[in-house]
Amino acid sequence: MKKIAYIELDTHSEIASNFMELMDDSAIFDVDYFFSSKINEIINIQNQNIIITNPNSLIKELKKSKYDFVIIGTVHRYFNIFEKIAEQYKTAIICHNLNFVKASNFDLLKAIFKENFKFRLKLLFRESLLKKSKVYRKAKNLFVLEKEIFLQNNENNNIKELPLFYNKYDTQSENKILNIVIPGAVSQKRRNYISVIEKLKNLKIEKSESGLEIVFLGKASGKELQELKKIEKEIPTHITIKYFTEKVSQLVFDEYMKNADMLWCPIKQATEFFSQKEFYGKTKLSGNIGDAIKYGEFAIFPKNYISSYKFIIQEEKDIMLQFQKIKNIHFDFQLNYNKKDVLKKLETALLNLSNKRDC
């Protein structure tokens, strides 16, 4: 068997969890998982191959076993550590923000003064921010998690697709009322909640029609929370909204997602990471793609989001009519994204990496 080390110290616990669940069924690869205590707590999976570590002890821990290659789940910090790993091991990095990957040192220096000044200064002096490009260059193998993003960036021969999203919950909701879930933190930063609230204000449902429940499945705070409290008092009684003022646990998140009739994903076309412009579907993956596949749900995306996925539907002007239409159509997620087939594709991608000589 091939031996892999998978490292996640920072964020993207859901990606690490997907990788672990798929690899549990692999007869080709044996994986050790190097997680920070924060990541391990979020994932909350009992696995004897999990090694709790931190940046200072990571390299020492890696040396205890021999690995065919190393996968780093996130390189948004600890650049000094990851540079050494990329020098010593055949390394692949999962890329979540491609314009950040491409950003020059001058771009990074300018970004330090734009926001989060203390944290970014720490990245500069303690974690060698300006080694960022060296880490990605020395790794030589870069993965993105969506086929469409890969196709738009495949002029870079180092970028490959890593299939990780599979249909885990093959359930069909039988709700008496339409249950619409908006997954993600209720913040205007990456999603256009203002447009959602405006649509809810003007939503018209005949009393003879089935009711409607809109679930804002993420922590709401600030102006967005105040708007939700306000609109809650204004909407008709057969329309209900639900929101959370604390972080939503994975257990609660799973239950609401499995019970949804569909997802409503008002993502903005552009966002920023480390003050670099990123574009959903082009340089950055929306996690809602993975959500839709995992929970087997249609997802309504903004009209300007172009996608070939059959389960992604562009938002229409009459959103209530659209909800009702989507309720009556079907997409076989198990046929298209079952665990066995996705694992096979994942293993192929990893074998191609393992067999590469130029590393």
pLDDT (0 to 100) of residue 174: 74
At 275, which amino acid appears?
S
pLDDT (0 to 100) of residue 355: 75
The stretch 170-195 carries a mean pLDDT of 89
Band of pLDDT at residue 207, cut at 50, 70 and 90? low
Q: List, for residues 65-101, the tens digit of each pLDDT value.
A: 999 999 999 999 999 999 999 999 999 999 999 999 9
pLDDT (0 to 100) of residue 236: 80
pLDDT (0 to 100) of residue 234: 85
Phi, psi of 59 (to 5 degrees): -65, -40
At 37, which amino acid appears?
S
pLDDT (0 to 100) of residue 359: 47
**Burial per residue of 76-112, b for 16 or more beta-carbon CB atoms within 10 angstroms, e otherwise:** bbbbebbbbbbeebbbbbbbbbbbbbebeeeebeebb
For 33, counting Cβ atoms within 10 Å of its Cβ (0-12 exposed, 13-18 middle, 19+ buried), the class is buried
At 194, which amino acid appears?
I
**Cβ-contact 349, 163 below 8 angstroms:** yes
User: Identical fold at 2-164+339-355 and 178-337?
Assistant: yes
Q: Which superfamily does CATH assign the domain made up of 2-164+339-355 to?
A: Glycogen Phosphorylase B; (3.40.50.2000)
Of 307, 305, 296, 301, the C-alpha closest to 336 is 296
Residue 328 has pLDDT above 80, yes or no: yes
Percent of the chain beyond pLDDT 90? 81
pLDDT (0 to 100) of residue 265: 97
When the pLDDT of each residue in the chain is averaged and rounded to a whole number, the result is: 93
Residue 316 has pLDDT above 70, yes or no: yes
Rounded CA gap, 245 and 242, in Å?
A: 10
pLDDT (0 to 100) of residue 209: 61
Domain ranges of the chain: 2-164+339-355, 178-337
Band of pLDDT at residue 356, cut at 50, 70 and 90? low
Q: Which superfamily does CATH assign the domain made up of 178-337 to?
A: Glycogen Phosphorylase B; (3.40.50.2000)
**Cβ-contact 213, 242 below 8 angstroms:** yes
The stretch 311-333 carries a mean pLDDT of 93
